[in-house]
Amino acid sequence: MIMLFVSILYSLVLAFNIPTLYQGAKVSVVENNIYFSKQDNSVSIKPFFATFIICAGVVPCWLVSHSYGLTFFIALFGSAAYIDYVTRWVPDILIFALSWIALSTVMPGEFDAAPVLVSAAVMVIPCLVVNVIAIMRCQRPALASGDIYLLPAIGVWLRPEWGAACLVTSFLLAGLGGLRYQNIPFVTVIYPVFVVAVICNAQ
């Protein structure tokens, strides 16, 4: 009976809120199209930075963990961080690949999935709250949808307290960067923080 009541309540909430959500998504797409149409489409090539950002994550994480799954995840995460830095965009294929690697590497070795899910929730829930507050104030979301999709995959590698520390530190760094620069690439910011957290976690 309770499940029936919850199902009916959810159905009504869904039915009445979809028009608003759809209109909001539509407006967001239009605004993004206008924004990108005004931007310079050229993408700079930074081979030394790409080499540094990936090697600085892959090498130390391999040395402390000797985990092929984690090392491959770091390599792809570093790729996403570099791409976000030079384009302010992360390809969907990278987001899906990172999520798949995280779940397929971490989950099979866990008898209890609760800590992993808590770690993922610690990373994503505060960001969702921040975005909802921004939308309610008729402002642009603080984090892009790609950043939100990536956060659970990052969180499952860390204990909840480390995940929280990683997220807070990344927000602080992004906030400090935002005082001087516009459109800070959050994936690029959280990547080195995550690498440090992984190394500290492995000690």
> Residue 45 is part of which domain span?
1-202
For residue 108, give the DSSP letter. G
How confident is the model over 28-53, as a mean pLDDT? 76
Structure-token pair, residue 168: 């807070």
Q: Does the pLDDT value for residue 196 go beyond 90?
A: yes
- Per residue in 147-178, pLDDT (tens digit) is 888 999 999 999 889 999 999 999 999 989 88
Mean pLDDT for all residues in the chain: 84
At 45-86, the pLDDT tens digits run 888 999 999 999 999 999 998 899 999 999 999 999 999 999
The distance of Cα 15 from the centroid of its chain, to the nearest Å, equals: 29
Distance CA 73, CA 54 (A): 11
pLDDT above 80 (res 41): no
Neighbours of 5 (CB within 10 A): 9
Least confident of 106-115, 117-126, 141-150: 106-115
**Rounded distance, CA 154 to CA 77, Å?**
9
Token pair belonging to 80: 């996403």
**Amino acid identity of 139?**
Q
- In 10 A of CB 150, how many CB atoms? 26
Model confidence at 111: pLDDT above 60 = no
Domain tally for the chain? Answer: 1
